[in-house]
Amino acid sequence: MRIARLIFGCLVYMLGAMSRVAVPGMVFERIVEDYGLTSAQVALLPSAGVFGCMLFIGLSGVFVDRFGWGRMLLVGSVLQALAYVPVHESSNLLLMLIGEFFNGGGRTIVYLAILKLFDVSFDRRYFAAMIGVFYVFSYGGTLGASAVFPWLVEACGTWQLAARVVNFGTLACAAALAILAVTMRGDTVRLAASPVRSAFPWRDMLASFRVRKARLAMIVAGLNIAVYWSFLCVSAAPFARLHGMPALVSEMNWVVMFGMVFMGSVSLLLKNARRPFFLWGAGAIVAAFTVLLCASLFGAKGIAPYRTAYLLLGAGYGVTSVLLAGTKECVPTVYMASAIGFTNLFANVVQIGGNQVSGALMALGENGYPFVFVLYLVLAGVSLIAAVRFARS
């Protein structure tokens, strides 16, 4: 039964990842045209989802640590499914933003509950390798947004109907989790692996994050997450289509999924090495946006420089599973979900800013993209500096 709950939980997150990127990333221009919105207004949609993640994630990690993964997995799944309904059923921007907000909160709870499940169910040395299984679903959903969702839109006729089909799958998985929760009553507590049951240990938890190495790890992982997701959710697909290269987003996400699935195992084979992955993750993202900036400024011809940049970004972000494992190892084991939660909280704050600034810059047309790349290059540069300091600590 535990495996069944894990599978349905992973499927919920997979569909959530697809929905997150698909709307508006894969249909950005269609939403602008259908609803008469500006680029900056449409960019509010992913920002609302990230804002939901941001407000939920600080407490969600504590709740998962306290109450166990089973209860919180069901809560997150139901919230994610129900909150997405206004996104595909309403043309009112405010209602869509509210839906995105709570959908992001639901995704956050599901994400942390699944990571907690892996942490309490397997030898902690294998955490980075085991979450590769989860990332098959997570980045399979991201890949599906760029490779499958456009086809689904064409088959359904409208992006709204395509999004409805995706969310029906989420509702079905949430229903299955509810049935399993009823049939496995009492199993949640047993499987929680001694969750924190005292009053919320804010003082001890925050004190553990004052360790310099923990802060550096959070900065690197958080900035890498923010840069990748901001670029993917707002400007990656429109920029690729502008240059007649729409397949670049799918190619990048294939690399991301490969890295997320297998880099934890590579780290394990290297005796759980972490430092090289921190340096590579930040360095590759810096290289990616350096190439994009130069190519856009100097009008590079052909697909090679753009493909190189997108693949570098995918390869840099693809080691994030190892970065998260390194982050949680810097704090006491009882706070693992909290540590990952606070890392993502930081990432979400940065991503919201990135979404809105890049969306506004895209209103300048093709001339706005070099400024978008400068923004991401600066953020990635800060991550690289922190990665170097982490490696020396």
C-alpha distances in angstroms, 185 versus 3, 5, 177?
A: 16, 13, 12
Q: Are 196 and 100 in contact (CB under 8 A)?
A: no
From CA 21, how far away is CA 222, in angstroms rounded? Answer: 18
The amino acid at residue 316 is G
Alpha-carbon distances of 392 from 278, 329, 386, rounded to whole Å: 11, 16, 10
Q: Which of 115, 379, 64, 3 is nearest to 226 (CA)?
A: 379
Residues with Cβ within 8 Å of residue 58, at least 6 apart in sequence: 341, 342, 345
Cβ atoms 43, 91 nearer than 8 A: no
Amino acid identity, residue 204?
D
Amino acid at 269: L
How far is 3 from 310, CA to CA, in rounded Å? 35
Count Cα neighbours of 267 within 13 Å in the Cβ-side half-sphere.
31
- The number of beta carbons lying within 10 Å of the beta carbon of residue 383 is 27
Distance CA 339, CA 330 (A): 9
pLDDT per residue of the chain (393 residues) written in tens, 0 to 9: 678 888 999 999 999 999 988 998 889 889 999 999 998 899 899 889 988 887 887 778 778 877 888 889 999 999 999 999 999 999 999 999 999 999 999 999 999 899 888 877 777 777 777 888 888 888 788 888 888 999 999 999 999 999 999 999 999 999 999 888 877 654 444 444 444 444 445 566 566 666 789 899 999 999 999 999 999 988 998 999 888 888 898 899 889 889 988 998 899 899 888 999 999 999 999 999 999 999 999 877 888 999 999 999 999 999 998 999 999 888 877 777 778 888 888 898 899 899 889 988 988 888 899 999 999 999 999 999 999 999 998
Contacts of 295 (CB under 8 A, 6+ apart): 305, 306, 309
188-191's contacts with Cβ under 8 Å and 24+ in sequence apart are: 188/68, 188/70, 188/71, 189/68, 189/70, 191/2, 191/68, 191/69, 191/70, 191/117, 191/120, 191/121
Contact 66, 197 (CB under 8 A): yes
User: pTM here?
Assistant: 0.76
Give helix then strand counts, H and E, for the chain.
19, 0
Give the containing element (helix H, strand E) for 37.
none
First and final C-alpha spacing in the chain: 43
| pLDDT at 180 (0 to 100) | 86
- pLDDT in the model for residue 298: 87
Measured between alpha carbons, how far is 111 from 192 in angstroms, rounded to an integer?
16
